[in-house]
Structure 1
Amino acid sequence: MSSHCHIGKTISSHWRPQALGLPFLSPYLQSLGSNFRHGANYATLASTVLLPNTSLFVTGISPFSLAIQLNQMKDFKARVIELQSHGMDHKTLPLPDVFGKSLYTFDIGQNDFTSNLAAIGISGVQQYLPKVASQIVATIKELYDDRARTFLVSNLAPIGCFPAFLTELPHNATDLDGSGCMISYNNAVAAYNFMLNQSLDNVRKLLPNATLIYVDTHAVKLELFQHPAAHGFKHGTKACCGTGGGAHNFNPQVFCGNSKVINGSTLTASACPNPQDYVSWDGIHLTEAANMALVHAILGGSYFYPSFPLGKLCHLHTIG
C-alpha cells in the first residue's frame, strides 16, 4: 500500500478518509463535481451482496448489488487507463498504477441479513447467509486477479440493538439482555460474522500476496449500544431523530425528516437537540458522534484481524 493511502472503495459507510488526510470520496454515480483523485465510493442506499432478483428480497432494496459495484469499479479503471493512454492528464482522476496500491474496503451485507427477517425469521435468513460470505470472497478473488492487493472487510453490526429493529422485529422480553438488545438476533449476527472471518481466513491461503483484513466493527458498535455512558453517551437503543417517543423513538411509518398524516394527526420525525448524546441517529444509522467513536477505535488497530499496522503504513490525521 502506498504511503499516501489511496482508497479504492468497493462499498463503505463508516470510514472517514479525513483521518488519512483525504477528503470525502466522491460517489461513483455522481456526475457533477466529482473528484476521484483519491478514490471512489461505489456504495448506494440499501445495497446488498446478493443480486436482489429473487423472492427473498423485499421492495426498497438497491439494484446496485456487490456484483454491479464490482463491474462499476472495473469500468472506472478501464476508462482511467484509456484516458491516460491518450495523454489526457485529468486532475480529478487517479493515476493508472494506483489501483494495485489502493485500499479496498467492504462494508456490506447488512441488508441481506435484515431485509426479510420479519417475513421469514432468523432461520430462514440464515439459510442464504453462507452465499453472502461466499460472494464477498469471490469478489475479493476477482479484484486480486485484477491486481488489487489490500482489503479491509467489515463484519455486520449487532442489529438486535438498533431502535428500528427493536421496534419492528418480533421478540419478547425474555429475548432482551440487560441493555435492551435482542439476544437471538445478535447471536445470529455473531454466527454470520464468525463464518465470514473463517471464509476470509481460508481465502488468505489462496492469495499469498494479499493483505486481507477482517475489521470487527461489530464489537465496537455492540460496546457503544450496551455501555453508552462509558463512552460519553446517554442513550443507546433510543433514536435521536424520530417520532413517537417511547423507549426507541422510532416509527416505521415516519422516517427521520419526514411528516405524515396518520389517523388524522400529522406526525413529524424531527431531530433531537442533543444528537451527541445518542448512539443511534434515526434508528438505523449511527450518529456522527458514534461514528467518530467507531472510527477512533478502528484506527487504533486493535480491531483488525490479523493485526494491520495502519498507523505505520499511513500518516494518520486528527479528526474532530
Structure 2
Amino acid sequence: MKLADLIEQHSEKLAMLDAIDAGKLVHMTAALDIQFALRVARYYAGAADKIHGDTLKCAGEFQAYTLKEPVGVVGHIIPWNFPTLVFAFKVPPALAAGCTVVVKPAEQSPLSALYLAQLAKEAGVPDGVINVVPGFGPTAGAAIASHMDIDAVSFTGSTEVGKIVMGAAAASNLKSVSLELGGKSPLIIFDDADVDVAAQVDKEQFEKILRYIESGKREGASILIGGNAIGDKGYYIEPTIFTDVQEDMLIARDEIFGPVMSIMKFKTIEEAIEKANNTRYGLAAGVVTKDLNTANRISRSIRAGMIWINCFLVIDGDIPFGGVRMSGFGKDCGLEGLEKYLKVKSVITPIYGSPWL
C-alpha cells in the first residue's frame, strides 16, 4: 500500500519516464497506465492476507490440509510498450505471495522499473526483495530464464522469444513459466459499429510494418485508406485498412503490431467463428452485436483468453488477462495472477485415536 501511495505521489514523473523511453503520450500514460498500475498494486496489497489452503476430506483415519507457499525467486521479463503497467501486473502479486523478484525491463524502456525499485525501497521493501537488472534479452533475459536459483519466470513479449524462454526454463531447473505472447485478436462486427486507429513506432518496427503493407498489396488485398509513411521525421505510418483480405494472407495471419487493420466479410455466425479461430494465436477477441444469443454463442465458441462484448480492450486489476495457444498461458491480474506465484503443499496427519499414533 505504501508503494502504491508513492506511485500515486510520483505518477507524473513515472509518466514522463515512460514517455521518454517508449514514446508514449504523457497525459494518456498518467491518466491510464499509471492509474491502472495503482489499482493493481492496491488490489494485490488487499489480497496478501487472504492466501489460504483448504481442509481436505480423507479416507481412513487421517486428516489433511493444504498450504499455499511462495514459489520462491521469480524472474520477470517485461516489454517496452507498457513499462510501468506490466511492472505492476507482475511484481505486486509476486510480493503479495511472499516471493522475491528479479525484473529485467526491456532494453528500450528501463527507467520506470529502476525508479519503481527506488520507490519500493522508500516504501520499506527490504533490500534484495525487488531487484532490477537492465540489459538485453540474449544476455540478461537469458540469464534469468536459465538461472538455477530462479524458481519461476513470467514473460511478456513475442511468441518467438517466449519459446526461447520456455526452452531455457526447461533445460535448466524446470522452473515454472507463464507467458503472455503475441496476438491476432479478431473484432467481429454484426451490422452496427465504427473503428479508428493510430500509432508511432521505432525504425525497425516501422520497416516491418511497411513490409507487411507491401505483402498485403502483393497478395491481392485492397487498401481502403492509408498504407504510407508520414513525414520525414520520426517513424510514423498512416492508419491503414485493408479490404478483400483472405485468411491465408500474411496480414491476416501475423501480429503486425502497428496501425494496420484487415477487414474480412462473413455471412453467418458459423463463418465468423471459423474465421476468428483460423489463427495460431488466442489472446483476445471482441464481438459487437445487439443480440444477446449471438454474443453468448460467439464468446463460448472463440478460442481466446478474453472476449469483449460491445467493448474492446477493457482490462482491470481483478480481471485475469492472458491468452491460449501461441498467445501463451498463465494469467496476469485477478486472483489467478496471484496463484501462479504460489505452490501447494499437502499436509497429512493421523486423527486422534488412530493406530498410527
TM-score by length of 2: 0.31
Q: Larger % of strand: which?
A: 2
In terms of Rg, which structure is larger?
2
TM-score by length of 1: 0.34
